[in-house]
Structure 1
Amino acid sequence: IINRSTKEREIKLFFSHDLHIIETDGGITAYYHPDMDAIIHFKKDRYFLIGGISESGGLDEFAVGVTEFGGLEGTWKDAEDGKLSENLVAHGSVDSVLSLKTKISNGKEATVFSWIAAGRSIDEVSELFETIKKAGPDRLVRETSKYFENWAGKSEINFGNLPVEVVSMFKRSLLILRTQIDNRGGIIASSDSDILRFNKDTYSYVWPRDGAFVALGLDAAGYFHVTQRFFDFCGKIISKEGFLYQKYHPDGSRGSTWHPWSNINRQFQLPIQEDETALVLFSLWNHYYQARDIEFIGPLYKQLICKAADFLVNYRDEKTGLPLSSYDLWEENRGVSTFTCSAVFGGLKAASKLARVFGDVQRAEKYEVAANEVKDAILKYLYDSEKGRFLKMLKPDGKNGFIKDATVDSSVYGVFEFGVLPADDVRVEKTMNAVESALWVKTEEGGVARYQNDYYQQVSRDVEKVPGNPWFICTLWLAEYYIAKNELEKGLRLLKWVADRASESGVLAEQIHPFNNQPLSVSPLTWSHSTFVLTVIEYLNKLNELKICDKCGLPIYRKKMGRLW
């Protein structure tokens, strides 16, 4: 806090805490603990110790009380007159407020610290308090900052000709990714709770799809030790049938879902997005290809790789060779989507390569044959020669047939991303040209929408001008396409577009408002940051490939990290 006035000032800061412990607002106790000069909130085996310190000492005042019950708004109202009641204890639906006071001379500054220590018992949070007391919060902040400064700089990357804002966004993205990763391997989609107001649920789950994309980005940047825990996590949660459900809690239990177990005729159907199972295999091969840690993936071979790959082989239509219906990656429509089929191809190719690593020739050939059958089926059934592009999906017509859904959808980038066709194939080129033409938001903000007439968080009904809100991942997919095509200037322009539209803190939301760049939906979205990291590495790989020294014949910028296929 800086005092810019010409006289000494006394500053009082108020901190309010309304904790819903174990996801409920009842049965909670809050009390003042005199020995630690702190407020304790607890329920069952969840404890939170809240304290603070200024140059004037510890807590100035405090209060605990009832909130959101019996017509009471909360103890924070007690702070409006600048004086707290110092009520000592409350239970039920409770909150707390504490104040810290400091005097600052004119032209001087002061630092005030507040902290929350979380644990499973009063003893655990008390030990954390003693650590803070002994070391001092300023030292802990300094050491933590230095630790993660070195963590973010782990890989020695020559950023070539990338502008400073892109490099800064890359490093910030790495740090934000780490905040969304549980030490037991779960990678949550977002820790933002604002989304609760829409349907009383959050993004704080582990989607195997999001996790697989995060692993792709982190492995590309050299953070193999972090992604290993995610793959271990997947090995523990995979079903006995070999598929992964929509989402999970970080402890491995299944998360809430809107995917039903039957169709409208009460016939059984798996409540899955098959791409999630396939993407984990695709990402795991990428991990091994770069890390070469066979001792790590050895225990996962039978438990995860074979189970998942066998499921992908069997979960197909005997007549067409296409995967059977499941929900698309947007989790909205059930059918056979181009993205899911491409991911299944990539997953089966990955499983075949991993099987060869272990000398399992029979399985390797089985997965290879299935992958090629899926590829042939994609080109036969999901490419529309009349429109000159790939379809979004085939939807069941209720009569054992399918209806073509030709909606322009950005996710068709999966055709080149997962190796079905190269980026310079004319069918891919026409498809991606259609994506850019139909889905680029025609406002000053720009960016790529998910698909035509995207209703989620819809801002404008003028779908010709605003087909949907700009999504960071979709815009970066277009950048990946241009990079794969050796069109680095176009790819770099889109990387800069993303970096320029991050929040002031460097956070990337899921999507932005098409007219004012305000973040929409959750922020941060882990997937947005991982895709930025991956796209930067792909740009540098391509830069390394194309920019060769005339004299020595070596790359000008950096060591090549390799491509998947």
Structure 2
Amino acid sequence: MPRQTVIGNGNMLICLDENGEVRDLYYPHAGLENHVVGRTHRLGISINNEFYWFKDFNKYNSQSANTLKSTNIFTKPEEKIEVEFENIIYNEREIFVRKISIRNKDTYDKDIKLFFGQEFQIKENKYRNTGFYYPPKNVVIHYRGRRVFLVNILSNKKGIDDYTVGLYGYDNKEGSYTTAEKIDLPKNAVEHGPVDSVVAKNVKVKAGKTRTVYYFLIAGKTVDEVLQTNDFVLSKKPPHHMFNTTSNYWDAWRNKRPFNFVSLSKEAVKLFYRSLFVVRSHIDEKGGGVIASGDSTMYSFGKDSYAYVWARDGAYSSKALSHIGYFNLSRKIINFFAETISDKGFMLHKFEVDKSLGSSWHPWINEGKFKLPIQEDETAILINALWEYYQITKDIEFVEKNYDRLIKNPADFMCNYIDKALNLPQNSYDLWEENFRVYTYTTCTVIDALKKAADFSIILGKKIRGKRYQDMADNIQEGLMEHLYNKADGTFYKSVTVENGTITNKDKTADASTLYALWYFNVLSADSDIFIKYEKHVVPILRQSDGSFIRYEDDKYFKKGEAQSNPWIITTLWYLQLKIKRTTSFEQLKSVAREIDNLLILQTDSGVLPEQVDYLTRTEVSATPLTWSHACYIETIAMYLRKLDQFGIGETYLPK
């Protein structure tokens, strides 16, 4: 089940599903050590002694555009009751807070009992866990080693009214959550192994009135630490105070710049701010890595999740944040890659947020020969991200600090990692991570990176090296036009296979990344005859009736049966970016604003962007939310605002 909302503070990241249930809980990094891993922290309620699971209620979910908060609203018309969950993670400490407002819309009082289930797999393992009730503080604690979680509930300064601790998935035990259906919990005080727990709160809600309950979950590294934090909450920072100050903090953070969104709809602007919060929540505070997604749903379909740092996704996130003035986050991300890039100048597949090497399906051997298991565009795009940061900030000290690691070494690597007879890069894996070949997209990123490495080198007085990089970029651009451009029909190959000066396996597949890379990385002018002819060829193949774009023709990833390929968010935004780039008047730009509104149908009901949507149902598919999708939307809006500046339509407050 793809996630609907996310909340985080850089050290803790929580993903909730459409039922408002916690499905992913990362701590102490945003993206490392998922202590739930797709299990379910269930939510239940009894109304006048009649039990229900909230998942069976009518429900509405939303990701806030005003602060880093999510909301779940549950209604039961026949019971005339509405329950609203507002969810935050305290910005100063690792405390997950849920503000629950129970609204009795009936003409008589109701006895309510709220149930909160906890089903941990601490350190991503359900074994060697312990859960226990702690009477001195009336709390339930789960722990495994140095990962400890304390659960408490407050209403009118009173805590937990009922509890139990049990087992799930062991000895035919489904889980202690099933005891909630009997309303009175058995008060089992301790268990070890695959442990779950349930805590409950009794509330009487008068007719026509609202009662508020706070649930909070504290993360720490020792039992003493979480107990001290619990005391801190009870004595100094009660949940309502944490809730208000956190909301105020993130509201101030989003309003760092008073952007002027001329002609953009309110919904488009809301998605911009939601995107900003989603990207921020996926950035690890300690190391600066930005994970692709905290959604562990992918474990249900494959061997792994998206909770890794790809240089590509990270670079695009850094660029988007630079464009709108969040430079401290851009630097964090860039610094992460300065520490993870190899000494030889190339990026490997992906990384954990603690900077260790992530899992990979790329082999180190191809056709019996040693081959680097890299996606070369991930190396190239880092120079592009650093250049974008520098162009806006002029932070030459930061550039000089990272020159060797992120400019010289990668540029030297790219100069050497070529087929000299063809003036093309050697084979590497593509941005879709599927095949080992030479791609037009990758080649464009390499050309762009070497040009920018040349510019950086010249700025820093390294003219000989700068000329070498520029000459190599020119040579590769000639190689691209010679071998990746099909002069016969005016199209570009998606890829070719290169080996010892020989080209084989020319792939003519129409691919959105090919079109995008040619203009975005300034290999061709978007107004050139060659580009326009290719655009006219490829767009009808990739664009669907609602204006959305698939990745490439006959893309089978999550495709259902004979249906068409699924549209992706980033590929759809790429073409909108091209349209923005081409606008020459405010009237044309307003037309693009209307197309941005058309894109909104691809967001989830809660207002976040997935990786892709189902062709038939237009519902989210794969990792949700996807950081790259949101970063791409931020960059698209930033490009729109930049055009407003060019046309002199008011002050947009973009960094100059």
TM class, shorter-chain normalised? over 0.9
1:263-300 superposed Cα distances (whole Å, 9 cap, x missing partner): 1x321111110000111111111011111122223221
TM-fit CA distance, 1:396: 5.2
2:275 paired with 1:173: yes
Structure 2 residue corresponding to 1:479, chosen from 573, 576, 582? 576
Call closer, same or farther: CA 1:399–1:367 in 2, change over 3 Å: closer
**2:46 — aligned with what?**
none
Structure-2 separation of matches of 1:29 and 1:399: 61
TM-fit CA distance, 1:469: 0.5
Structure 2 residue corresponding to 1:204, chosen from 284, 287, 307? 307
Structure-2 separation of matches of 1:283 and 1:492: 26
Structure 1 residue corresponding to 2:451, chosen from 342, 345, 349? 349
Structure 2 residue corresponding to 1:226, chosen from 329, 333, 339? 329
2:406 paired with 1:304: yes
**1:500 — aligned with what?**
601
Call closer, same or farther: CA 1:397–1:323 in 2, change over 3 Å: closer
Structure-2 separation of matches of 1:435 and 1:125: 57
**2:397 — aligned with what?**
295
Q: Is the 8 A contact 2:324 2:655 kept in 1?
A: no
**2:292 — aligned with what?**
189
Structure-2 separation of matches of 1:390 and 1:85: 68
TM-fit CA distance, 1:501: 2.8
TM-fit CA distance, 1:447: 1.2
2:261 paired with 1:163: no
With structure 1 as the length reference, what TM-score do the two structures score? 0.93
Q: Is the 8 A contact 1:541 1:561 kept in 2?
A: no
Structure 1 residue corresponding to 2:489, chosen from 387, 394, 413? 387
2:420 paired with 1:323: no
**2:620 — aligned with what?**
519
2:122 paired with 1:16: no
Percent identity, please.
37
- Match of 1:256, as an amino acid? S
2:191 paired with 1:90: yes
- Match of 1:224, as an amino acid? F
Secondary structure at the counterpart of residue 148 of structure 2: strand
Q: Is the 8 A contact 1:441 1:514 kept in 2?
A: no
- Match of 1:166, as an amino acid? A
Structure 1 residue corresponding to 2:652, chosen from 555, 558, 563? 558
1:531-556 superposed Cα distances (whole Å, 9 cap, x missing partner): 000001101212322x34xxxxxx54
**1:552 — aligned with what?**
none
TM-fit CA distance, 1:557: 4.6
**1:7 — aligned with what?**
108
**1:281 — aligned with what?**
383
- Match of 2:580, as an amino acid? I
Q: Is the 8 A contact 1:392 1:409 kept in 2?
A: yes
**1:72 — aligned with what?**
173
Q: Is the 8 A contact 1:159 1:557 kept in 2?
A: no
RMSD (Å), alpha carbons: 1.8
Q: Is the 8 A contact 1:383 1:390 kept in 2?
A: yes
Structure-2 separation of matches of 1:507 and 1:231: 25
Call closer, same or farther: CA 1:399–1:79 in 2, change over 3 Å: farther
2:588 paired with 1:491: no
**2:365 — aligned with what?**
262
Q: Is the 8 A contact 1:278 1:347 kept in 2?
A: yes
TM-fit CA distance, 1:83: 1.9
1:345-371 superposed Cα distances (whole Å, 9 cap, x missing partner): 111122122222322212211111111
- Match of 1:3, as an amino acid? N
Q: Is the 8 A contact 1:50 1:115 kept in 2?
A: yes
- Match of 1:129, as an amino acid? N
**2:349 — aligned with what?**
246
TM-fit CA distance, 1:493: 3.4
Which protein, 1 or 2, shows the higher relative CO under an 8 Å CA cutoff with sep ≥ 6?
2
Structure 1 residue corresponding to 2:338, chosen from 215, 225, 235? 235
2:638 paired with 1:541: no
Unaligned runs of 5+ in 1: 549-554
Structure-2 separation of matches of 1:533 and 1:29: 43
Call closer, same or farther: CA 1:492–1:389 in 2, change over 3 Å: farther
1:500-555 superposed Cα distances (whole Å, 9 cap, x missing partner): 3322322101111122221110110000000000001101212322x34xxxxxx5
Call closer, same or farther: CA 1:95–1:435 in 2, change over 3 Å: farther
**2:76 — aligned with what?**
none
Structure-2 separation of matches of 1:395 and 1:73: 53
Q: Which structure carries more strand by proportion?
A: 2
Unaligned runs of 5+ in 2: 1-101
1:432-454 superposed Cα distances (whole Å, 9 cap, x missing partner): 33332111224xx5511011111
Structure 1 residue corresponding to 2:539, chosen from 433, 436, 444? 436
**2:610 — aligned with what?**
509
Structure-2 separation of matches of 1:151 and 1:561: 16
Call closer, same or farther: CA 1:18–1:174 in 2, change over 3 Å: same
1:355-389 superposed Cα distances (whole Å, 9 cap, x missing partner): 22322212211111111112111122111223322
* 177-186 vs 535-544, which moves further: 535-544
Q: Is the 8 A contact 1:446 1:514 kept in 2?
A: no
